[in-house]
Amino acid sequence: MGFQEEIKRRRTFAIISHPDAGKTTLTEKLLLFGGAIQVAGAVKSNKIKRHATSDFMEIEKQRGISVATSVMAFEYEDLQINILDTPGHQDFAEDTYRTLTAVDSVIVVIDVAKGVETQTEKLVEVCRMRNTPVIVFINKLDREGLDAIDLLDEIESKLGLTVTPLSWPIGMGQRFKGVYNLYEKKLCLFSPHSKQEVDETITITDLNDGRLDKEVGQRPADELREELETVTTVYPDFDETVYRKGALSPVFFGSAVNNFGVKELLDCFIRVAPHPQPRHAEERDVDPFEKKFSGFVFKIHANIDPRHRDRIAFVRICSGTFERNTNYYNVRTGKSMKFSNPTSFMAARKEVIDEAFPGDIVGLYDSGNFKIGDTLTEGEILHFKGIPSFSPEQFRYVNNANPLKSKQLAKGIEQLMDEGVAQLFTREDTGRQIIGTVGSLQFDVIQYRLEHEYGASCHYEPVSLHKACWVSSTKPEAIRELMQKRKKDLAQDKDGRLVFLAESAWMLRMAQENFPNVEFHFTSEL
Instruction: Write down the pLDDT at residue 37.
Output: 52
Residue 288 confidence (pLDDT) above 80: yes
> What is the chain's mean pLDDT, rounded?
85
Tens digits of residue pLDDT in 32-58: 877 755 444 433 333 333 344 444 445
- pLDDT average, residue stretch 66-86: 78
pLDDT band at 334 (very low <50, low <70, confident <90, very high): very high
- pLDDT average, residue stretch 17-31: 86
C-alpha to C-alpha distance for 325 and 337, rounded to whole angstroms? 9
Instruction: Write down the pLDDT at residue 30.
Output: 87
* Predicted TM-score of the model (pTM): 0.78
Instruction: Write down the pLDDT at residue 3.
Output: 94
Residue pair 274/200 in contact (Cβ under 8 Å)? The answer is no
CATH 3.40.50.300 domain range(s) in the chain: 3-173+235-272, 279-377
Tens digits of residue pLDDT in 407-423: 999 988 988 887 777 88
Report whether CATH 3.50.4.10 matches the domain 279-377: no
C-alpha to C-alpha distance for 97 and 123, rounded to whole angstroms? 7
Instruction: Write down the pLDDT at residue 418.
Output: 79
pLDDT band at 302 (very low <50, low <70, confident <90, very high): confident
Tell me the percentage of the chain whose pLDDT exceeds 70: 86
With residue 24 as reference, give the H or E element that holds it.
helix 23-33
**Strand partners for 286:** 279
Instruction: Write down the pLDDT at residue 57.
Output: 47
**174 torsion bin: left (phi>0), alpha (psi -120 to 50), beta (else):** alpha
Residue pair 111/390 in contact (Cβ under 8 Å)? The answer is no
C-alpha to C-alpha distance for 462 and 465, rounded to whole angstroms? 9
Instruction: Write down the pLDDT at residue 526.
Output: 39
Residue pair 53/125 in contact (Cβ under 8 Å)? The answer is no
Neighbouring CB atoms inside 10 A of 278's CB total: 15
Residue 385 confidence (pLDDT) above 50: yes
Residue 59 confidence (pLDDT) above 50: no
Helices (H), 245-368: 262-272
User: Highest mean pLDDT: which of 13-27, 63-77, 226-240?
Assistant: 226-240
Lowest mean pLDDT among 27-31, 82-86, 209-213, 264-268: 82-86
CA 447 to chain centre: 23
Residues 388-525, CATH architecture? 2-Layer Sandwich (3.30)
Helices (H), 132-238: 148-159, 210-216, 218-234
Instruction: Write down the pLDDT at residue 472.
Output: 93
Instruction: Write down the pLDDT at residue 42.
Output: 39
Residue pair 135/252 in contact (Cβ under 8 Å)? The answer is yes
Q: How is domain 3-173+235-272 classified at the CATH fold level? A: Rossmann fold (3.40.50)
Residue 275 confidence (pLDDT) above 70: yes
Residue pair 502/489 in contact (Cβ under 8 Å)? The answer is yes
Instruction: Write down the pLDDT at residue 395.
Output: 94
- What is the torsional sign of CA 456, 460, 465, 467? positive
C-alpha to C-alpha distance for 2 and 277, rounded to whole angstroms? 18
Tens digits of residue pLDDT in 435-462: 998 777 789 888 988 998 889 999 999 9
Instruction: Write down the pLDDT at residue 404.
Output: 92
C-alpha to C-alpha distance for 131 and 116, rounded to whole angstroms? 20
Tens digits of residue pLDDT in 83-93: 987 764 454 55
Instruction: Write down the pLDDT at residue 90.
Output: 52
With residue 13 as reference, give the H or E element that holds it.
strand 10-17
Lowest mean pLDDT among 77-91, 99-113, 283-297: 77-91
Tens digits of residue pLDDT in 474-507: 999 999 999 999 999 999 998 899 999 999 999 9
Instruction: Write down the pLDDT at residue 328.
Output: 96
Cα→Cα distances 168→250, 435, 453, Å:
11, 48, 47
Instruction: Write down the pLDDT at residue 84.
Output: 86
With residue 138 as reference, give the H or E element that holds it.
strand 134-139
DSSP assignment of 472-493, as one string? E-S-HHHHHHHHHH-GGGEEEE
Tell me the percentage of the chain whose pLDDT exceeds 90: 55
CATH 3.30.70.3280 domain range(s) in the chain: 388-525
Torsion angle, alpha carbons of 111, 114, 115, 117, to 10: -100
